[in-house]
Each structure stands twice: as C-alpha cells, then as structure tokens.
Amino acid sequence: MERTPRSRIKGMLRQIFLRSKERANALKKTQYCCSKCGIKASVKKGAVVKMEVDHVDGIDVWDEIMTLIEDKLLCVGHPEKLQALCRDCHQEKTDAGI
C-alpha cells in the first residue's frame, strides 16, 4: 500500500501554522514589524515587505512529530487499526470515549 509522504504531512502542518491564531497574534504583537530590524510589513508597489513568523527555539522535533502522526493518526504499517464507520456510529464511538 502507498503511504502519505512526510513532505506532504509537513506541508499540511505548515498550512495549519500559517492560518493559526498564534501566528496572527505574533504578527499583531509586533504591529507587523520585524523584531530584529524594525522594518514594517508593506504591500506598497515597488516596496513590498513580507513578514514571516519564526520559532525562536526552532523546531528540532520534526522526526518525533512525523512518527507520532504516522503511528497514531495514519497507522502506517497497521491498516488493521483503521475502520470505516458511518457518521452516526463514529459519533457514538467518539461520545463513548472509545
């Protein structure tokens, strides 16, 4: 069976971060200015300045994150741990805390 490539998982996680309230709050906190040089974000023609949000401590646990996603969410190598359920049965199981 095919599996989801780690690059695709990482890309999806990046999209979650790009749309997160935490990222938006980091930009608002600095009023859309660079924390290092102070330049302000701009969309002015000829002077476009884009802001990015950086993790101060970096992310040094990508392998652990990927392994957790593959093992617990995608069940890579263990297709028997996944089952198809109708919406009602899935909700019933979720409500029961199973």
- 10: exposed, middle or buried (Cβ count in 10 Å: 0-12, 13-18, 19+): middle
CA torsion, ordered 56, 14, 38, 22, to nearest 10 deg:
-80
* Res. 2 pLDDT band, cuts 50 70 90: confident
- pLDDT of residue 3 exceeding 90, the answer is no
Using CA atoms, how far apart are residues 26 and 28, in angstroms rounded to an integer? 6
Closest CA to 21 of 49, 53, 50: 53
Radius of gyration for the alpha carbons in the chain, expressed in angstroms and rounded = 20
Using CA atoms, how far apart are residues 43 and 49, in angstroms rounded to an integer? 7
Mean pLDDT of the chain: 94
pLDDT at position 62, please? 92
- The whole model's pTM is what? 0.77
* Res. 67 pLDDT band, cuts 50 70 90: very high
- Enter the tokens of residue 63: 């392998």
pLDDT at position 97, please? 85
- Note the pLDDT tens digit of each residue in 13-43: 999 999 999 999 999 999 999 999 999 999 9
SS3 69: helix
